[in-house]
A and B are shown apart, each in its own frame.
Chain A
Amino acid sequence: MRYIEPHGHMVSRTTDDYQAMVTAGCVAVCEPAFWAGFDRGSVDGFRDYYRQLTEYEPARAAKFMLPHFSWLCLNPKESEDLGLARDVLAIIPEFLSRPNVLGIGEIGLNRNTRNEMTVLEQHVELAVSHDQLILVHTPHLEDKLKGTQLILDLLGSHRGVKPERVIIDHVEEHTIQRVLDRGFWAGITLYPDSKSSPPRAVDMLEICGRERIWLNSACDWGVSDPLAVPKTAIEMRRRGYGAEFVDAVLYANPLRFLSQCPKFRLGDAPVG
């Protein structure tokens, strides 16, 4: 089996996790910029993080022959300080030409505040003006439904946004169809205690179809499982889906979306 992990916060994981992922069939990992668990205090803190995502982490993954790609942004959890956000967004273009950078993400909302909306709008403008793919984080728990709708409305009102170049992540049963109906890609995140479980993810595929959907583990420093994607293949096979179905969802779908960025290349792999 081959699969792409399109959303993993590998700076938070051990080298053993890289080894386990490659052993399970992972052929590429993509790492969106994330919250460190505390608020960074300066622009230089972010600059160092972007260097980690574009220099150090790809080298660590390469030890296991695993291509590593990244997305850059200031996470919505750190959007309340508008001054710092403005200064951080100003340095992001310095990194966009780096060979493993796929786009702007994971941007979005956390608690659906006005300041978060302001910074989200600035990120979208940055992505459009630099012709970047966009990866969107949707809020947690009771904030997800409202936040998803706010995000859809904001993206829909920007004339430069092309829905086929945007993936809206962490969808659940109450948000997935709204995302797909607007022409965006949808990401299902597999978490032990929140977001989606493997059985629920396969339920959503059965209900909504398998087009424009990827699965990810979003593994980070919290309770999460870097092997959640290949484990979901077991749930698919248990329900009678064949190898072609598994490959289409776990490999060809993310390959199709990510290949819109010319820097995303996996050797001789054809775009599925």
Chain B
Amino acid sequence: MVDHGFIPVRANLIEVAAFLDRVERHVVSDDFRCVALREAAALLVDGQPERARRILEKLSDPTTEPVAESSGKAALGAWRASAPAESLRRKTN
């Protein structure tokens, strides 16, 4: 398990670290998605199980009622209370 999985996951972890460095260097680290990513990443080292499930929940819309109208066809990857559609739209399928 570890022999096969460690190197790819090590690479992914460094990608996360480099991304967080990059958004700081480009002064966009206060973007709500970057904030959400840092908060979610904290769950990796809290010593509790089911990290994948809990990170997915952390990044999810916590509301329960349907919204009045769509803010665009594509989700953004992290939730914020009143996400405008603007230029953040991207394709997901």
Contacts and interface: CB of A to CB of B under 8 A. Distances in A.
A141 B57 contact: no
Contact of A114 (B66, B76, B92): B66
Contacts of A173: 50, 52-53, 56
B64 interface: yes
Given A35-B93, A220-B93, A145 B75 contact: no
Interface stretch (A66-74, A105-113, A160-168, A243-251): A105-113
Interface in A181-229: 194, 199-200, 203, 218, 220-222, 224
B75 A143 contact: yes
A199 B9 CA distance: 11
A194 B76 CA distance: 12
Contacts of A115: 69-70
Contacts, number: 88
A145 B71 CA distance: 18
B79 A111 contact: no
Contacts of A117: 66
Given A111-B72, A113-B66, A146 B61 contact: yes
Contact of A174 (B57, B78, B79): B57
B91 A222 contact: yes
A112 B72 CA distance: 11
Q: Summarize B's interface: helix, strand, loop or mixed.
A: loop
Interface in A80-125: 80, 110-117
Nearest to A149: B64
Contact of B61 (A145, A172, A200, A218): A145
A142 B52 contact: no
Contacts of B93: 35, 218, 220-222, 224
Q: Kindly list the 10 A-B residue pairs having the minimum CB-CB distance in the complex, ordered from nearest.
A: A145-B60, A141-B75, A174-B56, A173-B53, A222-B93, A142-B79, A140-B75, A173-B52, A111-B70, A140-B92
14 contacts: A35-B93, A111-B67, A111-B72, A112-B67, A113-B70, A140-B75, A140-B92, A141-B78, A142-B76, A143-B60, A143-B75, A146-B62, A173-B50, A173-B53
Given A141-B59, A141-B77, A141-B78, 11 more contacts: A110-B73, A112-B66, A113-B67, A113-B70, A116-B66, A116-B70, A140-B74, A140-B92, A143-B61, A143-B75, A173-B56
Interface of B: 1, 4-5, 50, 52-53, 56-57, 59-64, 66-79, 91-93
Interface of A: 35, 37, 77, 80, 110-117, 139-146, 149-150, 172-174, 194, 199-200, 203, 218, 220-222, 224, 238-239
